[in-house]
Amino acid sequence: MTRPSVLVTGGAKRLGKAMVERFAQGGWHTVIHCNTSRDAADDLAATLPSAEVVQCNLSDPEAGAAMVRQLAERLSDWRCLVNSASIFAVDEVTALDPETNRKAMQVNAAAPALLAQTYLAHAKSGAGRRVIQFTDQKLRNLNPDFFSYTMSKAAASIASQMLAMAHDGKDRIYTLAPGAILPSHDQSEAEAERSHTMNLLQRRTGADEIAEAALFLAEGPLASGQSIYVDSGQHLLNQPRDVIYMEREGRA
């Protein structure tokens, strides 16, 4: 293996797929993690010059850690871990749903932290290692919707800052915060087209822009602990609700 390797969690579809494809174009060996999307992951891997698929349920903490340890044993230049797998479910700021909260906190916050810790303890790369944790622009542009999801992304952001404080030298930990990009929750494509222009530039941010940002963090010179927002300026606004609901309420 002469290519640097990257693991992208949730890499079979949506933003994860876009990043896998961009890393592959950049000459990386891509490890595509999936849970229930094995067919999509296999189909994607078949189109790439150097790729493989790993499957595990990140709701199981030990499964994720074991996956990372197994990869670390055989990848000679594992240069980047991208924690993009996420769940996005509804619960209310006035009525937290315990099961929704448990799943969100595990998959969106605890699992990425444990994967990062295991990666930094076991992975090998002479060029230095990078961890990219996905958060969300709404941590800067706060609204009360998707309560447990937002809580979990806030926890993930703080965990990434703490990890960055504990690692120096060649190892760097970043956060990447996207805005509204692809249809989510119960949105139609038409609703997404309207709601996803509710940002400073009044344009729809592309999945390719997220992929370019991830590759830049993996290869670029930024100091550890920094965050990149890729949202056409959405995080600089003060939106009272998630754009899904603002569009439906005619607040565009």
This prediction's pTM:
0.96
Q: How many domains does the chain have?
A: 1
Residue 252 has what pLDDT?
60
The SS3 call for residue 66 is: helix
Give the count of beta carbons closer than 10 Å to the beta carbon of residue 77: 17
Q: What is the pLDDT of residues 30-47, one digit of tens each?
A: 999 999 999 999 999 999
pLDDT band at 142 (very low <50, low <70, confident <90, very high): very high
Q: What is the pLDDT of residues 90-138, one digit of tens each?
A: 999 999 999 999 999 999 999 999 999 999 999 999 999 999 999 999 9
Which CATH number goes with the domain that contains 21? 3.40.50.720
Residue 168 has what pLDDT?
78
Q: Give me the domain span that covers residue 47.
A: 5-248
Q: What is the pLDDT of residues 72-100, one digit of tens each?
A: 999 999 999 999 999 999 999 999 999 99
State the average pLDDT for the chain: 96
| Residue 198 contacts residue 247 (beta carbons within 8 Å) | yes
